[in-house]
Amino acid sequence: MNGISRRGLLKTGAAAGVLSLSGMKLRAQTRGGKLTAGLGGANTSDSWDGRTHSDIFMIASAHGTVFDCLTEVAADGSLVGELAESWEASADAKTWTFNLRQGVTFHNGKPFGADDVIESLQMHVAEGAKSAAQPIVASISEMKKVTDFQVQFTLASGNADFPYLMSDYHLLIFPAGQIDEAIANGIGTGLYQVQSFDPGVRMVATRYPDHYKGDEAGFFDEVEYIAINDNTARMNALMTGQVDTINRIDFKTEALLKANPQLRIQEVTGNQHYTFAMLTDTAPFNDVNVRRALKYGINRQEMVDKILLGHGMVGNDTPIGPANQFFHAEMEQLEYDPDQAKFYLQQAGLDSLNIDISASSAAFEGAVDAAQLFQASAAGGGINLNVVQEPADGYWSNVWLNKPFSAVYWSGRATEDWMFSTAYEAGVPWNDSQWDSNDSARFQELLLMARAELDTDKRREQYFEMQQILRDDGGVLVPMFANYVQAVNNRIASPEVVGNLWQMDNARMAERWSVA
């Protein structure tokens, strides 16, 4: 059966009844061969613990290759079942029953079942666990094993998007009772089985025999992901044939790729956005007037023109993007206005502002250049930015969430609640602005209301208001939405429709691509 779109899911009001969803059949693919990818976003601290994953190297290695989730966002944005075969909801979307696939085994031979689902999800709310998916799992008030192949989730409040949330790349399914071993060795139920893994260097995996997805996915005999964080090195590796595909091409050398007849460029519009996050619990960012001054001190169009070279669009200080259902495209655009920046500094009792801004190529390609552009434009408003260039390795563990003002990359999420609950809900681990103060009270109230609202028109109004609040008062500058731009050797075939939720076909190129 075909998947159901989120729009269709919401139209049903998550009504009781089974939504039977399975993977969508692709055209006939060539079986065999090897895919070698050069990927950025790798760290020497990488592991198979899905709670720690934050960038493309481990996202593609884990949920796109070695592990599975309960559900999967297909390339066309529809939701399909992965380890869950189907699911049904109560009329208020508070109780969800997932029917699991039978006959699935982990790579060590252990049969898959309900216990694996429950124990894997409980990892994210365990004492001391630091997981970006913590708010998703924390919203579940009860997890109950109904049968060996049926699990029931009771939520604290209704959530029409809940099946989408189960596709989050952090929510990998591990074998119950063997989770430590599975994290140490990469034991999942995915299409490929780990042969070697050197954190921050490379991962090699081979096709798992008799996989439950059959002949409709996982067409390579072997996949190798090589960590190449340096953008120039990635481009050279592709140009010289050392790898078949790379993520995040360097726009400045795009012409070289286009001139090579053996290569093609994939450009996909999604919700990926580049940001500068302010810790609003730290002075001077705890003053909304300072935040507003910075919002008027940034030239968004200049960044799209000079950093993205046109491969994207201007942002408006909200993470909800053009691929979201409730994207507020008509909201008045904040424009660069140094006089307004000066005005808000005066409202904060300041004649000028001197602050550091941290940036690194690990944040996003061109982050340091973007910070320097921001430095130049902000100066006109009396804001003096000192650009601190941070090392790439360790950026996400040492800088992000720790430095008061830093460049950040976000892939965005398929649903508004998924994005907001990951990075803007009060108290969640990845709230990188720590925007939990009184001026976020209305936003937090709307977040809970919209999550449980089944009326699409009311939901739209609520999400529009939330975007307005973020634009005016939030602690995150979103100057630009960036298209996913990646390059592939023509010896590798890819489907007509390439996913736009994450880079590299929703990080599932090992599953969906094949030898041409």
pLDDT tens-digit profile of 240-273? 999 999 999 988 889 999 999 999 999 999 999 9
Q: Identify the pLDDT of residue 345.
A: 98
Tens-place pLDDT, residues 351-362? 999 999 999 999
The DSSP secondary structure of 47-61, one letter per residue, reads -S-GGG--SHHHHHH
| Under 8 Å between Cβ of 78 and 24 | yes
The ranges of the chain with pLDDT < 50 are 1-27
- CB neighbours of 285 closer than 8 A, spacing ≥ 6? 278, 279, 291, 404, 405, 433, 475
Q: Identify the pLDDT of residue 471.
A: 97
Q: Identify the pLDDT of residue 452.
A: 87
Tens-place pLDDT, residues 492-501? 999 999 999 9
Q: Identify the pLDDT of residue 130.
A: 86
Distance, first Cα to last Cα, the chain: 27
CA distance linking residue 156 with residue 152, whole number of Å? 13
Q: Identify the pLDDT of residue 16.
A: 31
> CA dihedral defined by 454, 460, 464, 467, rounded to 10 degrees?
50
Domains and CATH numbers, the chain: 6-226+484-515 (3.40.190.10), 273-482 (3.10.105.10)
The string over 16-28, giving b where at least 16 C-beta atoms fall within 10 Å of a residue's C-beta and e elsewhere, is eeebebbbbebee
Q: Identify the pLDDT of residue 158.
A: 93
Q: Identify the pLDDT of residue 19.
A: 32
Q: How many helices (H) and strands (E) does the chain have?
A: 17, 22
Tens-place pLDDT, residues 95-109? 999 999 999 999 999
Q: Identify the pLDDT of residue 18.
A: 33
Q: Identify the pLDDT of residue 28.
A: 60
Q: Is 459 helix (H, G, I), strand (E, B) or coil?
A: helix
Q: Identify the pLDDT of residue 252.
A: 86
Neighbours of 291 (CB within 10 A): 25
Q: Identify the pLDDT of residue 20.
A: 30
CB hemisphere CA count around 15 (13 angstroms):
6
